[in-house]
Structure 1
Amino acid sequence: MTILLRQKINIEGKEKKTVKANLEEVLRKLIAFSEDFSYREHESLFAFLNDKDLLEKLTALVKKINGHHLPKTVFVIGIGGANLATKAIHDALSGYGESAYDAERKMIFLDTVDESVSEPVLLHIKTLNKKEDFVVVIVSKSGETLETLANTEFLLSHLEARFGDIRDRTVVVTGGGSKLDLSAKEKNISLVLLPDVFSDRFGAFSPTTLLPMMLYGYPADDLLSGAREVFRKFIGLKENISLETAFAIDEEYGRGHNIYDLFFFSPRLETLGKWHRQLVAESLGKTGKGITPTVSIGTTDLHSSLQLVLDGPKNKITSFVSVHLSEEESIGDSLEIDALSANVTSKSFSEINNAILQSVQESYFKNNLPYFDIILSDISLKTIGEYMTFAMLQTIFLSKLWSVNAFDQPAVEEYKTRAKRALE
């Protein structure tokens, strides 16, 4: 993963001593707690990268559930941090929306509560022939999330109606003492408990993500190896691009740039952008502070929002995320419609995409719009692990610069309480 800043940020001379001391302290904590397998602090989130015992337990559970055959379908019930990392990984590797591959094996996510989601699920259930064709993973740290519990009742009731007892095809990932924990133990359903001190939006390398990934057949260590590589590389005050970009965002935020546009030049990475959006919004939007994250997809959104960016309010900082040029065939030269020169038709889609991106960045530079450029070597578990680690470190550094707690979400709990009362 290559990250380029328009200008070098001088960390040593730019910031006040107290701010630098705070950043040094958080770096020390992240390093120290990366081996804290008791997970007693929020900063222990990177211990998941090195927890061999946990990985062995998850591997054994996957073998117990899957046996010698991968399931046709993995249902993942959860919302927000409980499922976004898993969905980002699956959509990137298997295609998203119109770019999705028509594969026989599927990972189906139940997050929101709407008939447009539930009806296709019911149709899919009819394609399953036996209970070994599927696994259900229920993910909720609190065990209280209304949407997750509603989708759990919905999905399990319909699967039970078709296949009978499906407890051996169900696994729960939750916090100790939650309703889901107690119910799973009572019904003898497979259970993975999360640490008491745990923020699921920082759980990309925790069981909330690793377990459904592994049940589907993705190799967890590919994701973890990319994450470990970036963590080790970006954990000092010098040559730390996560920290440098955090300083760049903070500097532009002080100049009135309060929108952070995550501009992905690959539709397959759209959900990765949504994962990053949640990370930024829920971690940093507190006590009147915060930067609004948006997700744009190239080249599509050049034809919807670029006019505003270039000629509207100068209030955005942009992170361009693209994939290194790959070896592809040329787009071809139609005999019926001669619309492009031979020089263009001899190019691949990747080359055309890259030429457009460079042109857009030149326009940003000309208009003095702040941006940085992230180039992934490819779309793989390893590079996704790299990007997620970079994003989490950047967010933690920004929280320290803005003196907010990156790991809580007090305002979100209010709607959850009101919704439960409304339905009682």
Structure 2
Amino acid sequence: MTDSYRQNIFFPNDFNKTAYDALLIKANDVAQKISAQVAGGNYPFLSAALKDDGTLDAARKFSGKFSDVVVLGTGGSSLGGKTCCAIADSKINVHFLANVDPDGFDRALKRLDPETTGVIAISKSGNTAETLCQLHAIVEWLGHNNLKEKLLVITEAGDNVMRKIAGQLGVAILDHNPKIGGRYSVLSIVGMLPAAIAGLDIAKIRAGAADILNRASTADSAAAIGAAVSITLNKHHKINQTVLMPYADALKTFAEWYKQLWAESVGKNGLGTTPIDALGTVDQHSQLQLYLDGPRDKFYTLILPDHAEEGARISPLKNASDDRLAYLYGRTMGDLIAAEGKATLQSLKNKDLPVRCIEIGKLNEHTLGALFMHFMLETMIGAELLGINAFDQPAVEEGKILTKKYLQELHNAA
């Protein structure tokens, strides 16, 4: 790990250490096999951390013309890039429209000017109904003048609807690697193009990810330990939920990204744990009561950036002060959130609940990349320990089939 990136896990007193030790041996073996596969040219979504794929060139060609950029896509086509852009401070506003709620979609577009807005539409398969619906709506909003300058599509090569329509419109098409699934695509052009447009240094994101990947083959890597702990708690302690609670607004979307990654990868064949995204300190005032005094069925992960000395320094107001705030005077807002994260950690430990703390130092491109890689590796290892395929999602196909059926019924009735 990097010097500023540390994982500490606090086990409950009755933790099954024997089962954990056996699973950790297996987890280490899986991690070494993953490293060997990457070295052999497999798992391109991981090896994307080790190379430049031309994303920066695409960003330069597309981003210099607009005050706003809209990214169309859902799930993994959206969450990775959105997570990256959450830490950016950019002159270009990048907006992610992931849903097909007509009210939300229309409200978002009303705040934008089609003359100064570029659009990126992303669908791995090129047949995602939601993104295709959005694409049709936004082309009409943009107008057909200079559409080639305003619209860019990312999809797989081959015969798919999005690629066909993009070709008919004459707009630029970038290839989505067919071997990279959406929820694992953050380090590819899918996540890195919006990040680069937002002004982030994507080389640093990938370097942080590579730092973790290069340590995956070492014994007891953080990802292997995390996976072994999680599966031990699930199999032997009836832990069926996993809570990810970062203490940073900029990581709220990261928790949502993780929720999809873990749920779709391990939730199969009656197995897996349910991921819950939370946010410190906000959810101390909504969920923490349940965490501390409710069912003992959760594994907690707190992500604690270094907020020390950040933000406004609190001093007595002119003609308005109270001695009861002596603990706060002289301290910064960053000191407060750091103290609250530490307090939540200790409260969970005092209740003898399984809790993990990941300290990442300052939140920046490098540490964000490290987090991405850590949790992708942990998810892959955890799925292997459960004996399931981390890369498919067969149960959701029925919903897609039924959606098309119901729309066809509407069409026939009309």
Fold match (TM-score > 0.5): yes
* Matched residue SS, 1:262: strand
Could you tell me how far apart the structure 2 residues matched to 1:35 and 1:70 are? 40
Which residue is equivalent to 1:355? 339
Q: Is the 8 A contact 1:71 1:216 kept in 2?
A: no
How far off its partner does 1:388 sit? 0.6
Distance 1:11 1:135, change over 3 A: farther
Structure 1 unaligned spans of 5+: 95-102
Structure-to-structure mapping, 1:251-400, within 5 angstroms: 251-254=232-235, 255-328=237-310, 329-334=312-317, 335-338=319-322, 340-400=324-384
Which residue is equivalent to 2:397? 413
How far off its partner does 1:339 sit? 6.1
How far off its partner does 1:44 sit? 3.0
**Matching of residue 159 in structure 1 with residue 156 in structure 2:** no
Could you tell me how far apart the structure 1 residues matched to 2:324 and 2:223 are? 41
Structure 1 window deviating more from structure 2 (337-346 vs 108-117): it is: 337-346
Distance 1:191 1:336, change over 3 A: same
Could you tell me how far apart the structure 2 residues matched to 1:408 and 1:11 are? 31
Q: Is the 8 A contact 1:324 1:377 kept in 2?
A: yes
Query: Among residues 155, 159, 168, which one is paired with 2:149 in the alignment?
Result: 168
How far off its partner does 1:240 sit? 0.2
Could you tell me how far apart the structure 2 residues matched to 1:401 and 1:283 are? 12
| Amino acid corresponding to residue 134 of structure 2 in structure 1 | N
How far off its partner does 1:23 sit? 5.1
Query: Among residues 5, 15, 26, which one is paired with 2:9 in the alignment?
Result: 5
How far off its partner does 1:352 sit? 1.6
Structure-to-structure mapping, 1:120-269, within 5 angstroms: 120-126=107-113, 130=115, 133-160=116-143, 164-177=145-158, 178-236=160-218, 238-254=219-235, 255-269=237-251
How far off its partner does 1:123 sit? 1.7
| Amino acid corresponding to residue 76 of structure 1 in structure 2 | V
Distance 1:343 1:217, change over 3 A: closer
Which residue is equivalent to 2:407? 423
Q: Is the 8 A contact 1:74 1:216 kept in 2?
A: no
Distance 1:243 1:22, change over 3 A: closer
TM-score (norm 2): 0.89
Q: Is the 8 A contact 1:74 1:106 kept in 2?
A: yes
Could you tell me how far apart the structure 2 residues matched to 1:13 and 1:297 are? 29
Q: Is the 8 A contact 1:34 1:50 kept in 2?
A: no
Which residue is equivalent to 1:46? 46
Distance 1:419 1:348, change over 3 A: same
Which residue is equivalent to 2:411? none
| Amino acid corresponding to residue 364 of structure 1 in structure 2 | L
| Amino acid corresponding to residue 62 of structure 1 in structure 2 | A
CA deviations over 1:309-354 (Å, ceiling 9, x no partner):
1111100100001111332342222232426333421111121222
CA deviations over 1:185-206 (Å, ceiling 9, x no partner):
3433211112222211011101
Which residue is equivalent to 1:28? 33
| Amino acid corresponding to residue 128 of structure 2 in structure 1 | T
CA deviations over 1:197-220 (Å, ceiling 9, x no partner):
221101110111112222333222
How far off its partner does 1:22 sit? 7.4
Structure 2 unaligned spans of 5+: 409-414
Q: Is the 8 A contact 2:35 2:216 kept in 1?
A: no
Q: Is the 8 A contact 1:6 1:372 kept in 2?
A: yes
Q: Is the 8 A contact 2:303 2:360 kept in 1?
A: yes
Of all paired residues, the percent bearing the same amino acid is 23
The count of corresponding residues between Structure 1 and Structure 2 is: 397
Which residue is equivalent to 2:56? 59
**Matching of residue 111 in structure 1 with residue 98 in structure 2:** yes
How far off its partner does 1:166 sit? 1.1
CA deviations over 1:394-417 (Å, ceiling 9, x no partner):
101100110110000111121112
Distance 1:88 1:25, change over 3 A: closer
Q: Is the 8 A contact 1:11 1:244 kept in 2?
A: no
TM-score (norm 1): 0.87
Distance 1:91 1:340, change over 3 A: farther
Which residue is equivalent to 2:66? 71
How far off its partner does 1:21 sit? 5.6
Could you tell me how far apart the structure 1 residues matched to 2:59 and 2:284 are? 43
CA deviations over 1:334-377 (Å, ceiling 9, x no partner):
23242633342111112122222222222211211000101121
Could you tell me how far apart the structure 2 residues matched to 1:76 and 1:193 are? 16
